[in-house]
Structure 1
Amino acid sequence: MSNINLLSEKIPEGSREDHAQREDAVKELFQHKDFSMTTPPAFMPAAAKEEWNRLLPVLKSDYPFSEVDYGNFVAYCLAYARIKQAEHEIKKFGTFQKNKDGTKRENPAVRTQSRAMGDLKTASTALGMTMIERQKMAINNAKAEPESDPFSELMKDE
């Protein structure tokens, strides 16, 4: 049996057994325990809670979202809140700040925001929320549909 890559962009070639294994693996994505938390964790800042409440219904209805995704979802919401807070600091104090000697330096919030954007991208990729990941899932769904065989259609009539 070959390794099955559910997000592969190439149509897997192989036996019926390989195709059946792929279909079983796709079904398995939806057999984990459903994501049960409806309220965000108390430790989250307000912006992270707002993002949690905004995204949770979408993730639960459109993705194979389950309990195993909890950590990535928390990471995504916290990163979102850090981006928002850093942007507030940047707007308030500027992208660059003056040192005591008059030279300019980058506002530390710029680095914080940049790191948070990287964290957000990592978490959103892990959750399948980026355009590229959604595209891969759509391609796989389309490829998982059985190809029509004109000869089998002819044979049904006999």
Structure 2
Amino acid sequence: MAQRGRKPKPTALKVLEGNPGKRPLNVNEPKPEKKAPKCPTWLEPEAKKEWRRMSRSLEAIGILTKVDAASFAGYCQSYARWKEAEEFLTKHGTIFKTPSGYIQQVPQVSIAQTYLKIMKDFCSEFGLTPASRTRINVDKDSNDCLDPMEMMLMGEMK
């Protein structure tokens, strides 16, 4: 059965955002190693390029961890397939004439839209959209500061 309500935000993102709701942070949340996972060999070449491009940045701010391999692979693969569909559309256009004379949309329009939506969903998870990024405040001194005593001293925990 599906969980009700809004999807919970990871504690790491809440800390980076400054805990705007001032709700108690989950200090018992699992804290996987903040290191980018290895790029899967089965990804398409364009997805591997995106993996290399984005993993460094996400690892540097502490968002991408060892356990995020499947989600991040999903983002990269969606990016590669979206780009492929967009390149097709740029080269061939968005419509064609059927043998009976009707004007019809090429399937790549729908494919591009689908993968763009999937990409956007993954981007929100990793804080990669402009809206999600505006809520993140990266403080280099407190990136690894989920210690309960430190949070209490900083006024994060009551």
1:79-103 Cα deviation digits (max 9, x unpaired): 1101110012112221111111111
How far apart are the structure 2 equivalents of 1:75 and 1:23? 27
Cα separation, 2, equivalents of 1:48 and 1:110? 20
**Paired residues, number:** 130
- CA apart distance, 1:42: 1.8
Q: TM-score, normalised by structure 1?
A: 0.69
Quote the residue 1:91 is aligned against: 90
Q: Could you tell me how far apart the structure 2 residues matched to 1:11 and 1:42 are?
A: 42
Match of 2:133 in 1: 134
Q: Which residue in the other structure is 1:120 paired with?
A: 119
Q: 2:63 aligns to what SS in structure 1? A: coil
Q: Residues 37 and 68 of structure 2 are in contact (CA less than 8 Å); yes or no, is this contact kept in structure 1?
A: no
Quick one: which amino acid aligns to residue 32 of structure 1? P
Aligned partner of 1:24 in structure 2 is 27
Q: Matched residues in 2 for 1:66 and 1:44: separation? A: 18
Identity %: 23
Determine which structure has greater relative contact order: mean sequence separation of CA pairs < 8 Å that are 6+ residues apart, divided by chain length.
2
Give unpaired runs (5+ residues) of structure 2: 1-7, 143-150
Larger radius of gyration: 1
What's the TM-score, normalizing by structure 2? 0.69
Shift of the alpha carbon at 1:135? 2.5
One-letter identity of the residue aligned with 2:21: K
Change (3 A) 1:67 1:37: closer
Question: What's the secondary structure of 1:114's corresponding residue?
Answer: helix
**Which of residues 140, 145, 154 in structure 2 aligns to 1:146?**
154
- Structure 1 gap segments, 5+ residues each: 13-17, 148-158
1:33 matched to 2:22:
no
Q: Which residue of 2 aligns with 1:11?
A: 22
The aligned residue for residue 55 of structure 1 is 54
- Identify, as 1 or 2, the structure richer in helix: 1
RMSD: 2.8
